[in-house]
Amino acid sequence: MNDLKILLIEDNPILARQTGEFLQAHGWRIDFALNGRLGSRLALEQIYDLVILDLGLPDIDGLEVCRQIKARAPVNMPVLMLTARDAFAEKAEGFETGADDYLCKPFDPRELALRCRALARRNHLHRSDHIRIGELTVRRREHSAERAGQPLKLTSIGFRILSMLVEAHPEPVSRSAIAHQIWGEDPPETDALKSHIYSLRQALDKPFPAPMLKTITNLGYQLEVPGADR
């Protein structure tokens, strides 16, 4: 796990900087949020391999931020809680809200890095290689997809976009989350995403009687199974 993308939600700027620098030294990409509202918004707009969440936030309790992430994030993202609360009852409450791991302050940053790597690895291993949504099948390892038994001719970026939509199904994925996942902090000046979405539609929908790729106005895109609500 050498290319992790991590969201660090920590209101102590000194601890956030020290922790972030240590994790960045592993080659990992770190986004920072100094309060719960920003942290929750980032987790719902983008896709991370892991969220490191401080419980003692100034605006929203960390438990509530965890609930929001687990209930509304486009994909399952492991949450590692950081806290000075070491009572069993408080740890139990953290796990009940959806936390995947728990580390008490003060902590050894080397242990934090080990836990980050283990959580991300476990999450990736639990993702099925074959994912089926209606008549669509996506094979991760082969970087291939087919619909109704017909192979889809996808570009590498088209396959990445389709994979994000499959992981998020039945929830939509925002345009900003897709763009950030593909281009990071340096998106192209032109609206390249529209072009890639067009190509994906040509491969995924054009040869078939009903579309699966749906545009959500002012938000992004979503996969739907034709006839599922009828």
- Band of residue 161 on the pLDDT scale cut at 50, 70, 90: very high
Q: Give 3-state DSSP helix, strand, coil % of the chain, rounded to 5.
A: 40, 20, 40
Take residue 68 and report the two structure tokens written for it. Answer: 């929001």
Q: Please, what is the angle between helix 109-126 and helix 13-24, to 10°?
A: 60
- Band of residue 126 on the pLDDT scale cut at 50, 70, 90: low
Mean pLDDT of 74-86: 83
pLDDT over threshold 90, residue 200: yes
Write down the pLDDT at residue 230: 43
Inter-residue contact 136 to 113 (CB < 8 Å): no
Inter-residue contact 202 to 212 (CB < 8 Å): no
Write down the pLDDT at residue 47: 82
Write down the pLDDT at residue 129: 67
Q: Minimum mean pLDDT among 68-77, 110-119, 138-147: which range? A: 68-77
Work out whether strand 5-9 and strand 29-33 pair parallel, antiparallel, or are unpaired.
parallel
Query: What rounded mean pLDDT belongs to the chain?
Result: 87
Phi-psi region at 185: left, alpha or beta (left = phi > 0; alpha = psi -120 to 50): alpha
Counting residues of the chain whose pLDDT is more than 90, the rounded percentage is 50
Write down the pLDDT at residue 76: 79
Inter-residue contact 89 to 117 (CB < 8 Å): no
pLDDT over threshold 50, residue 154: yes
Domain ranges of the chain: 5-126, 130-223
Q: Is the peptide bond before 151 cis (omega within 30 degrees of 0)?
A: no
Whether 5-126 shares its CATH topology with 130-223 is answered no
pLDDT over threshold 70, residue 141: yes
Write down the pLDDT at residue 14: 95
Inter-residue contact 14 to 42 (CB < 8 Å): no
The C-alpha atoms of residue 128 and residue 175 are separated, in whole angstroms, by 25
Q: Minimum mean pLDDT among 34-38, 63-67, 99-103, 185-189: which range? A: 185-189
Write down the pLDDT at residue 66: 93
Q: Does domain 5-126 have CATH number 3.40.630.30?
A: no
Write down the pLDDT at residue 11: 94
Right CATH for 130-223 from 3.40.50.2300, 1.10.10.10, 3.40.1410.10, 1.10.3720.10:
1.10.10.10
Residue 82 sits at φ, ψ, to 5 deg, of: -110, 130
The C-alpha atoms of residue 8 and residue 16 are separated, in whole angstroms, by 7
Measuring CA to CA, which residue among 228, 201, 206, 230 is closest to residue 134? Answer: 228
Write down the pLDDT at residue 199: 96
Mean pLDDT of 213-228: 89
Mean pLDDT of 157-172: 87
Calculate the CA dihedral of residues 48, 53, 59, 63 and round it to 10 degrees: 110
Mean pLDDT of 201-211: 96
Top pLDDT among 71 and 197 is at 197
